[in-house]
Structure 1
Amino acid sequence: MDQEGIQSFLIVFSIIAFALALTVILLFAIFQKRKNKLVRIQQETENKFKEEIIETQIEIREETLRNISWELHDNIGQLLTLAKIQLNEADETCGNVSEASETISECLKELRNLSKLINPDTFTSLTLIEALEMEIERFNRMKYLETTLEYNLETFDLNTKVETIIFRMLQEFFTNTIKHSKATQLKVKLTYSEETLEIKAEDNGVGFDVSQLSRGIGLSNIKNRAKIIGADAIIESKKGEGTQFLLTYKNK
C-alpha cells in the first residue's frame, strides 16, 4: 500500500473511531439521563408515599382527638354538671360542699377549654393566635410554668389545615417542655411579614442532646408535620441551656 493509501486509511479509520466514540458518549449520556430520570421519579414516588403516610397518621390523630374532645364535653362534662347540681341541692351550710361545688365549676371550665383545644374543628372559629392564647392562659392558670406570648399581628391569612398543623407542632413542644424540661418559663413569639411566618418557642429547662432527637416521638412528630406543610423546623438544645423550637413557614 502506497503512502497516499495509508493516509486515506488512517483518515477513514479516524473518522470511524471518532464516530464510534461519539456514539458511545451519546448513548452513555442518554442512558445516564434516563437513569437520573428514573431515580428522580422513584424518589418523588417514595417522598409522596411517605407524605401520604404522614398525612394519614395526622388525620387519624386528629380524628382521635376529635372523638376525645366530644367524649370530654358530652360524657365527662355531663357527669360533672350532674355532680355540681347534686352538691347544690345538698346542705349548703356545710363549707366543704360549697368548696367542692366551686372546685367542680373550675373543673368544668378547664374541661371545656381543653375540649376546644384538642378538637380540630376549633380552627373553623378560632385563629392560630386565639388558640395559642387559650393554651397559654391554661398553663398560667394551672401554674405549670410562667408562659408568655408575643406577636406582631393578631390575624394573618393562613389555610385552616396549616394553622392546625402548626398549632399541633407547638402543642408537641409545649408537652415536652412540661413533661421533661423541668422549665419554669416558656416564651412564644410569632412574627408575620411579607407572607412569611416565623415562630420561636423556648424554655429555660434542663435541655438535652439534640443527637438523640430521633428517639423522642413527640419532637420527631414536629419534623414530620413540618414536612407536610413545607415548613422549616429546627430544634436546638444543649444540656443545661434549655430548648428552642424555630419554625419558618412561607405562605403560598
Structure 2
Amino acid sequence: SLKNSLDRLAATPDLDAFLGYVLTEIAQQFDGKTASLHLFNPDSQTLHLHQWVAQGRIYSRQEFHQFGPLAEPIVVTGSTAWAVLQQHKFPLVISLDNAHQYMFPGTEDWQLDWAEREELQSGINILLSSGETPLGMLCMFSASRSTFTSEELEIAQALSHQATLAIQLTQLAAEAQQSAVLGERNRLARDIHDTLAQSLGGIILHLQAADSIYTTDLQDKQTHVTQARQLASQALTEARRSVQALRPQLLEQTTLDQAFDSLLQQLTRNSSLHITYELHGSPYRLPPEVEAHLLRISREAITNSLRHAQATELVVDFTYEPRQVQLRIQDNGQGFDRDRPTFGYGLITMQERAQQIAAHLHLSSQFGQGTIVQVTLPIATATAGTLDD
C-alpha cells in the first residue's frame, strides 16, 4: 500500500485526486467503510471537511451536506481527541467503548446515530502535521474491525505522511500561484509605466515645445506636433503589446544595439540635448527577456534626463565583453542628493528590471554634477549567441 501510494504521488499531478487515493487506500487496507480528511484552520481553530470516501467512492463537495455537523467547521478547542492527537502524535483508536469521549463537541448525537446506522465498530484518527504545526486530521471507520495491531497503526501513520506531503505541496502550489499573480501584476505595472508614462512625458515635452512663445517657425511647430503624434501612436502599440507580454517594438526587426540607437533618436529628436552614443565590442544576441529589460531600463534613464535633469549632454555607452554586457548612461544635469532621495516609480522599475535579469544597477548622482546609471550584466557562456543564430 505504501509503495502504491508513493507511485501514485509521483504520477498524479492533481493533488486532490491523490488525497482521495490515499483515503481510499487506507480504508481498503483496514477494511474501512468510510474515510475522511479534515484540514485545520489555525486562525479559527477549526477543522474543515475536505474529502470523504465511502466504499471506494469519493464524494464531491456538493454532497457534503449529508454528513451533518461534520460538514461544518468543527471547533477543536476543548476536544479531548484533538488534545490527545497533538500530545502523542500517533493514531488514536476509537472504539464503541470510548467513542463518546473522543467525539468532537457538537457532533456527538449525529455521529452516534450515524455509527449505529452504518454498524461501525471502530475508527482511527490520525493527526497530519508538519513539525509542530497541525495541518489536519485523517479519519477512518470500519464496520468489521474492532481492534488494530501496532504494526497496522504504523502503516496507517506512514500512509498519512503521504497525505501530509500532498497537503504541503498543495499549499506551496497556492503560494506559488499567488506569487506569480503578484509578479505578473508588477510586470504589468512596469510595462504600463514604461509605455504610457514615458511616452506621455515625451508627448508633453513636444507639445510644450510647439506651444513655446520662443518657437515662431510654423514648420518647427508642426515637427514637434508630428513627433508627439508618433509617440502617441507608439504608446498605444506598446501598451497593447505589453499586455500580450511581447517584446518592445524596437526589438522586433533590429538587434539590441540598433534598438538603442533608434530609441535615442526617437526620444531626443528636435530636443536641444546633445547625444553621444558609443558601441564597444562585438555585439551578440542575448535572451529576448534580457534585451527587453535592458532597452526599457535605458528608456527610463533617458526619459528621466529629458524630463528632470535639465541636462545639455547625454552620453550612452553600450559595451559587449565576453563575460559581461554593460550599459552606461550619463548626463550633465542638475543631479540629486543620494542622502535625501525622492525616488519615484521609475527608479523602482529600473531596479526591479535589473533584478529580473540578475544584473547589477548602480546609480551615481550629486547636485550639480549630473547622474550616471550603469547596468552590468554577467554573461553565462550558454546565454549569449551570435547575431547569425
TM-score range, shorter chain: 0.5 to 0.7
1:241 paired residue among 364, 369, 379? 369
Distance in 1 between residues matched to 2:309 and 2:347, nearest whole Å: 13
| Equivalence map 1:93-242=2 (5 Å) | 120-122=247-249, 123-153=251-281, 155-213=283-341, 215-242=343-370
What's the CA shift string for 1:40-85, capped at 9, x where partnerless? Answer: xxxxxx9x9878735541245437877x6xxx9xxxxxxxxxxxxx
CA separation of 1:144/1:49 partners in 2, compared to 1, >3 Å: closer, same or farther? Answer: farther
> How many residues are aligned here?
180
Alignment check: 8 A CA contact 1:214 1:220 kept? no
CA separation of 1:162/1:172 partners in 2, compared to 1, >3 Å: closer, same or farther? Answer: same
Which residue identity lines up with residue 277 of structure 2 in the other structure?
L
Which residue number in structure 1 is paired with residue 166 of structure 2? none
Distance in 1 between residues matched to 2:378 and 2:233, nearest whole Å: 33
2:196 paired with 1:62 = no
Distance in 1 between residues matched to 2:256 and 2:271, nearest whole Å: 22
Q: Which has the higher contact order (CA 8 A, sep 6+)?
A: 1
CA separation of 1:209/1:50 partners in 2, compared to 1, >3 Å: closer, same or farther? Answer: farther
SS class of match (1:225): helix
Deviation at 1:207, TM superposition (A): 0.7
Which residue identity lines up with residue 219 of structure 1 in the other structure?
L
Alignment check: 8 A CA contact 1:113 1:134 kept? no
Identity %: 24
| Equivalence map 1:69-88=2 (5 Å) | none
CA separation of 1:101/1:223 partners in 2, compared to 1, >3 Å: closer, same or farther? Answer: closer
Which residue number in structure 2 is paired with residue 78 of structure 1? none
Alignment check: 8 A CA contact 1:150 1:189 kept? yes
Alignment check: 8 A CA contact 1:236 1:244 kept? yes
Which residue identity lines up with residue 309 of structure 2 in the other structure?
S
Distance in 1 between residues matched to 2:333 and 2:288, nearest whole Å: 32
CA separation of 1:229/1:214 partners in 2, compared to 1, >3 Å: closer, same or farther? Answer: farther
Deviation at 1:146, TM superposition (A): 1.2
SS class of match (1:171): helix
CA separation of 1:64/1:222 partners in 2, compared to 1, >3 Å: closer, same or farther? Answer: closer
Distance in 1 between residues matched to 2:346 and 2:310, nearest whole Å: 17
SS class of match (1:142): coil
Alignment check: 8 A CA contact 1:139 1:147 kept? no
User: What TM-score, normalized by structure 2, do the two folds share?
Assistant: 0.39
SS class of match (1:191): strand
Please say which structure displays the higher CA radius of gyration: 2
CA separation of 1:169/1:109 partners in 2, compared to 1, >3 Å: closer, same or farther? Answer: closer
Alignment check: 8 A CA contact 1:208 1:238 kept? yes
Distance in 2 between residues matched to 1:180 and 1:99, nearest whole Å: 23
Unaligned runs of 5+ in 2: 1-130, 132-174, 201-217, 242-246, 381-389
Deviation at 1:126, TM superposition (A): 2.5
Which residue identity lines up with residue 150 of structure 1 in the other structure?
E
Deviation at 1:148, TM superposition (A): 1.5
| Equivalence map 1:14-33=2 (5 Å) | none
Which residue identity lines up with residue 303 of structure 2 in the other structure?
T
Task: Identify, as 1 or 2, the structure richer in helix.
Answer: 1
Deviation at 1:112, TM superposition (A): 5.7
User: What TM-score, normalized by structure 1, do the two folds share?
Assistant: 0.58
CA separation of 1:107/1:232 partners in 2, compared to 1, >3 Å: closer, same or farther? Answer: closer
Deviation at 1:138, TM superposition (A): 2.3
- The alignment's C-alpha RMSD in Å is 3.7
Distance in 2 between residues matched to 1:107 and 1:140, nearest whole Å: 12
